[in-house]
Structure 1
């Protein structure tokens, strides 16, 4: 009789070959899956970086917008009228809340030890030292080693003034709120035309949010309804902070008087944020050329004719360090060196 089937040796050889083929297929599948995961993570980081840069770029381009002209022109022509709480001089913002310091359209806070060329260990912990010192509203929010960028401007939407009635206690202003929506009492607003700008707090609002009393406005100022507009003021701070889950991310903090303001995590997984500022240092008048660049600390100590260098800023360079998944606040990042600015 002839034997049929496989011998034990043949079966073991076939099983071994089958296992090798299965192992090869598994390795191809795992490699493809890992490659897809890396590609997806890279795409997500690139998208996050694009979103962060576009948001910062949009706010920085608006910095110093004061209606018809920019903050530099207002300062040189002495066109400020300031009626904000804490101020004693209608030409100065001294004493006003940090969010209302519109003489500094761009302001920077340099994390100590993070200047160009310095080495910095990112621990992810909140707090640390900055130059100049952080305002109260930002203390305890910013991750160690990351800079803070603050921009101020009059909002892009405006309400046309339809009536302006000055009196001793403050001008009564009526506006067309079709575009902006109702005016809110207690918020900071600005009246502006091509000749002057007045900052004030809406003391009271009536007419369904279309009429407001502008405290102290109407003494030296008068605004023609045909040329004046009402703007809502905007102050935004960018910094790296901790999300509710403990992960680090880039925050966009809309600041208001007293510090009670909404914050939003603009981009998750941001480990560090570094900023350099460029300004025109020509004396006695600016010539339009950016000839100085430095950190927020250098900017704070620089002086030009008529005040600080903040009014001469014409360039902002920012760098972001992102990861697929940021470290938890208080934890540590992998020991890798990454050059930034």
Structure 2
């Protein structure tokens, strides 16, 4: 027996139009074929861009080293005798700071970049692609070419030899400092496309930073001595004068002990290690992000299109 669809008055209902069957067949995984094409196209574009990035990005190796304080800081807090007298002391007389804290601050300053720039070999080392052995040349690459063209278009100088600002930016992008809050150690790492240059640059930064910190400590020490001597000359109170003289002897003694114990402000622990495989670009992370972001962006476009249509 064959079942038929009939209307309320007993007449037979016509079969569904053939076009309706075609519309239902134009779906894949319950997604209309048009939206499915958008999904495939957007996802493919993201994956292709990820592949191009990984294929063209310059692989970089990481050199790392660990440093720690070589000795206690010679800038101690003021003795209770001075504090009780209500004397106004400079900031360098406050709470003792770790040499590694000062070291991290110093090598992050523009003045340290300028100091490195004054070494003729350092800029040529990190900007080797712009040094032809005799003079500096224009930066290479499509991005730099477009940038120079735009600068010329607007009346600016197209390019210039590297200066301390370029060195500072380069260090900010490639030098990483990881202090250990539980200990007085700091891991310093530097990235470069050549593992030998990475180790060489890191050694220069470490040694130059130590010398810079030693000079800064010497200036701070001399500033302390000059300040105390001025206060002794200005003071008319015997109790204040005796307290200042006692503190001066303490500062000089600490400085002498530190100078005799070590010639370095920080100490290198272990040797410089260089990664055997490139650490940048992060291949697995970039591939994973591209794999996930492709479908996410595609579905976002699809749902945004549906929302626009539903609002009409």
What TM-score, normalized by structure 1, do the two folds share?
Answer: 0.23
Please tell me whether Structure 1 or Structure 2 has the larger radius of gyration of its CA atoms.
Answer: 2
User: Structure 2 length normalisation: TM-score?
Assistant: 0.24
Greater percentage in strand: 1
